[in-house]
Structure 1
């Protein structure tokens, strides 16, 4: 059984707080507040990455990264219809599946405050057969604020941000809501930082920005932070539902933290993932191995032309990724905190990860 006890109030606050790529301000404040209680020093950079550092007793340095941003939208155009109502057209920030967007509630973040809205969806009995069978497209999405066009134009500007409006709920053994990607790993990282005391290694806990639009924050941070070892944390696909064959599951909820072997952006260092596996077995922490066919993570941000770094990654299995009902298993979250903590407490620079 996992030893970490989940702080569900903190998970709820992190997941329900809004922060799209490039505009992670509200989440960044939560991270900074948490770091103030657990690390020796905190700094931010020009992109908005936050680094909380715990100083170690030796020269060995480790970076741990989890991203703060969630997928969302930016207002690209304000449209008026013939009745004088105002609607918002959108540009996506991150990879949306348009099938899940219709009839969702949203929040539009304006300079003067937040406005509630809905993504419109015509009733099916008013559509012809061709319209009902058409493949949805993100470009077809629009927001109805329930306001006259002149009010919309007064209160909303091109460039305002939009996030999904969804609460975080407990469903059986699962926690479900929006932005589990990647706030649940951000939670695990912050909880690990709070648990670490007097490490041998200096540990840089990095809350990164703009992961959902191309790992941009981590790539910049990977130049600025120069660790001997880098560990990324992100959710991963759990297709353990009826419409998928077992070989397509990638991971399964409840089977433990996922030790990444590869994804679309990185092949993790063999000596790193083998050490994760060894420690998990020694500590009797449930784990599974992750081979993700596509998709990238911040792990790749620390492998670049400025220098080769050994890298590893821990992932939390996540059903229904990039929807408003992303779902993770509470035991997988706890196992991730347990394994990351155990791993970092053993890092003293004596393990050679080079090949």
Structure 2
């Protein structure tokens, strides 16, 4: 299986640069994964395709404003720090640009001295371990100084940080948003609940590996990134009771899907647990947990389009993407959505 099998032509103007004012007014492509049949509607009409007894599974991770612009203390040179993984109370693994300038012992100042970071280690791959010092609460300082770590294909500056969060974001830890969830509003979620659809929450902290292209031609040689997940017992019970009653498990996004498939047994029942997953889902994978998938339109040759192709069939998915381009759907993080049933 070749990475190039998952390539497609995308005009640059179809990459959504800004979110719509009304989250739920984005377009929605509904695709039958058995036949490949496609229907076009708007996201708020997704209720027409849901039914009582279904279970909607959302990822309630919260994106950190993890991009910090600082100055090297000894030279005053501009330097950018991106928080990746928390290693301790004030210690983080970070990506630094320009990286070669950050030596062990170097200090970086942010916000006219509001916060300072010292490089304490350089690890394999070139990432740094830094220790922060500041006054007050770290999250408060970060919210004031940090910017949202938008993916590289978004070139416009985000005016409102909240627009790169789902309305149900709760647990800090992601370097990127679980973008399929960006289409939901509180009103739409309430309408869905009132229909008798259960809503269950899982947490998977999305890492920067989401944006990394697959650089090998043989898909099987790709090294998948690792992400931390949590599934609480109460939420596992909601999902399992819906499945046992014959309801569909509808995963909101590839991140919820990777979490559910990581903790499902062979019968599709969900275990309550936490840990790190490197699950790589590509065509040939046998799904255990999910019945339907809500997802955005993903980058060519990405692990995300491979996951979607595993669920709906590569031929169906590539034809759907071709149709989306012809119909001028908006692509990627702030773009339109698919509901695969």
- TM-score bracket for this pair, using the shorter chain length: 0.3 to 0.5
- When the two structures are superposed, what TM-score results if normalisation uses the length of structure 2? 0.34
Query: So what's the TM-score if we normalise by structure 1?
Result: 0.33
